[in-house]
Structure 1
Amino acid sequence: MSKSSVIVVGGGIVGVMTALTLQRRGESVTLIDRWEPGHSRASSTDYNRVIRAISGRDEFYTRWARESRLRWLELQAESGQNLMYECGALILAAGGHSDWEDATAETFDRVGVPYYKFGQQDIESRFPQFCVPDIEYALFEPEAGMLMAHRCVLTGLSLFRQAGGKVQRGRVTTDGSERPMMDGNPLEADLIVIATGPWMADMFPRTIKPISTVVGVNVLYTSTPDGSEEFDMTRMPCWIDHGQGSFGLPSSEGSGVKAAVVIPDKIDLDNDERLIRQETLGRTRSYIRHRLPGLEGQRVVDSKFNQIILTPDTHFIVDWHPEHENVLFAGGCSGHLFKHAPVFAEFAAGVGLKDFGTADRFKVSGRKKLSPKESPSGR
């Protein structure tokens, strides 16, 4: 069978993993990015990301996350790189506002995901870093943890190149019909996969922009206390705190404790600096005083300004362009795609090579906003 010519546009985690999957399937793949893959403008930048199966009542993503965990461990063994740390994830459920957490426990029971349910005293005893007077219970997923995001992208890129894949620098735009173009000429390939993350909205103003919102998220890293290991990943889990609109990760490889108060911020992808807003500092410090009092007074040692593309239902996008039969959209991260990347890439590759059709939830049409209980990301 002859090889298909494939172009993947976008060198973030989705583009890299999809390109790697297609190259390993025997296709001839070129990966194109405007900048060096792993660059600091990308949504896939930053040191780490949470990997967890917790997805409310959505069994589909729960199973995908569990399968992706195994794939990340396989890639870690193959590459010899530290890609994932299983420090666990603690999901804090506030009294009267725990629909997503309640639904998650039911899904875990059906799927068979290992977890513990801790009351307030258990949380304080097992994880004394957290002050939880307003928390009714917590779910602890011991096989969750963190992916070293930047390293995952670079490792996937290295494996792609080792498999014979080509990497090209260039800016892909679209014409009036949303046909992908570069240097004034249409892209020519049997399959063109668009994996440009938030940039997908502006590239495809008629098809993708109406079903997407691009937001910025401010992230701060706080120093651990002098002489203390209490906030390191060996003693502290990742956490999600929906009642406070926050999440975080323990210090890993000397990074400091990552904490984000998720207040969606606007961003001009091409013109804004990747700097946190000053007011975020006060909000995050207020949250730390409330939830992590042992970090009060510690200095911020690093910061990141990330951007994500949200769909109304927070489902991903894997669908064909309505006018260009060889153009496949792959993305729509909605803040929870990174961890799914190995399995997402296999699915996108299968759709692209016509092994099967896409899922209804991934189609461009028919999008509608879900309640937090129904949403897999809890948004």
Structure 2
Amino acid sequence: MSRALVIGAGVFGLSLARELAGRGRSVDLVDPRPAGAGSGPSYADTRILRCAHGPDRFYARSAWRARTLWRELEAETGERFLHPTGALLLATGPDTGWERASLGTLRDLGIPVEHVPAAALPGRFPGCTAHGVSFAVHEPGGAVLAARTAMRALAASAARHGVRTTVGTAVPDGEGARVDGRLHTADLVVWAVGPALPVLFPGLTGVVAERQDSYWLTARGPWAAGGPAWIDRSAEMYGVPALGGAATVKIVPDSVATDLAHVHAAVAAGELPPHARRYVATRFPALAEAPVERREECAYAWSPDEHFVLDRLPGTRDGWLVGGDSGHGFKHGPAWARYVADVLDGTAEPLPRFALRGPSAAPGAHREPPGEES
């Protein structure tokens, strides 16, 4: 039986370990924390699942496929973590080309989507104003994933498939990995280490570790409990409604920092940044003065062109790097794992977009909306 060693138990690594084991490989998974109980970016509270990716068909198909696979994981484990809230893209600002392209692409692929005129927005989604909105793109199949619960379900399923987990810190060592001083080798070694990628493999990719803060506000008004997840790409804001009777909603200004010690240095922990507070007051008036209940920090691995990374590790026979989630990777987890496993099995070719690329990779070549994974 072929042996695989997967380093990293975030959503990419854990999903891949489970997928490889399901295909008959003997799989060992290494992470500093027990699988399903981590503290990295895959273990924040919520993730938005939307299929809109501008004109990009690969990511749109992947997200739609992942929705089905997440549902299958719910059925397998008895856990409930996919909340079918829908997802709403607000087309604001002078350039709405990304939203228009998303609408056309989803229609072409047969993924449920609808165009919502600005005038109809307040009636369709009470509590949300149409201020500055040209139109909206509504995905009725969009959802919010309760990430920690999803990761727990992935870990349980992986264990049932035979994945063995070692708790420890891994560093590259030739063809294998040295885990707390002990060398581990396998026929296949995959490094799926999230924000640690540029630390362990400096110079190989343009991936940098970034951090973003999410703010949980007291839920008020009709939008709080009944609205969809939403993204305003131009304003660099997104949010999640209160789920399952929760008393808070999540608001995320797309402010990031490569200094992971802090993001909003001048903003107290219990305050929403002023520009975000102004946005909320305009877009969701009932939340204008809602207090911040808590703040959550989230790191992710950002690629300059915002494509994922899937390529061989130079200098090894069968070592691979997988990562570069760029703040939009979580929702793809199980579908991305199937694609990666196909590549590793030799039944699919890795797309050039995923190849190793240095810091000079063109920013904006593939522009995603805010990193709605935190």
TM-score by length of structure 2 reads: 0.91
Distance 1:255 1:207 in 2: 44
Q: Which amino acid aligns with 1:245?
A: E
Q: Which amino acid aligns with 1:183?
A: D
SS across alignment from 2:99:
helix
C-alpha offsets along residues 65-99 of structure 1, whole Å, 9 cap, x if unaligned?
A: 11111111111112111121111111000152212
Offset, 1:313? 1.4
The answer (yes or no) to whether the contact 2:204–2:357 under 8 Å persists in 1 is no
Matched, 1:183 2:180: yes
Matched, 1:317 2:309: yes
Q: Where in structure 2 are the equivalents of 1:39-50 lying within 5 Å?
A: 39=37, 41-50=39-48
Aligned to 2:70: 72
1:168 to 166, 172, 191: 166
The answer (yes or no) to whether the contact 2:49–2:63 under 8 Å persists in 1 is yes
Aligned to 2:118: 120
Matched, 1:30 2:22: no
Identity of aligned residues (%): 28
Distance 1:257 1:138 in 2: 21
Offset, 1:204? 0.5
Q: Which amino acid aligns with 1:193?
A: V
Aligned to 1:104: 102
The answer (yes or no) to whether the contact 1:55–1:378 under 8 Å persists in 2 is no
Q: Which amino acid aligns with 1:199?
A: A
Matched, 1:241 2:241: no
Offset, 1:353? 2.9
Offset, 1:115? 1.3
Aligned to 2:251: 259
Aligned to 2:193: 196
Aligned to 2:364: 371
Aligned to 2:137: 139
C-alpha offsets along residues 306-347 of structure 1, whole Å, 9 cap, x if unaligned?
A: 011111211111111111122111111011111111111111
SS across alignment from 1:44:
helix
Offset, 1:54? 0.4
**Which structure 1 residue ranges, 5 or more long, are not aligned?**
none
The answer (yes or no) to whether the contact 2:35–2:165 under 8 Å persists in 1 is no
SS across alignment from 2:134:
strand
Q: Which amino acid aligns with 1:326?
A: D
**Which structure 2 residue ranges, 5 or more long, are not aligned?**
none
1:13 to 3, 7, 11: 11
SS across alignment from 2:12:
helix
Distance 2:28 2:263 in 1: 28
Offset, 1:276? 8.6
RMSD over aligned Cα atoms: 2.3
2:327 to 323, 335, 346: 335
Distance 2:266 2:75 in 1: 39
Offset, 1:51? 0.3
Distance 2:178 2:266 in 1: 35
Change (3 A) 1:312 1:241: same
Aligned to 1:282: 273
Distance 1:310 1:299 in 2: 30
Offset, 1:41? 3.3
Matched, 1:223 2:221: no
SS across alignment from 1:199:
helix
Distance 1:134 1:10 in 2: 42
The answer (yes or no) to whether the contact 1:312–1:368 under 8 Å persists in 2 is yes
Q: Which amino acid aligns with 1:319?
A: D
Q: Which amino acid aligns with 2:349?
A: G
Distance 2:369 2:288 in 1: 29
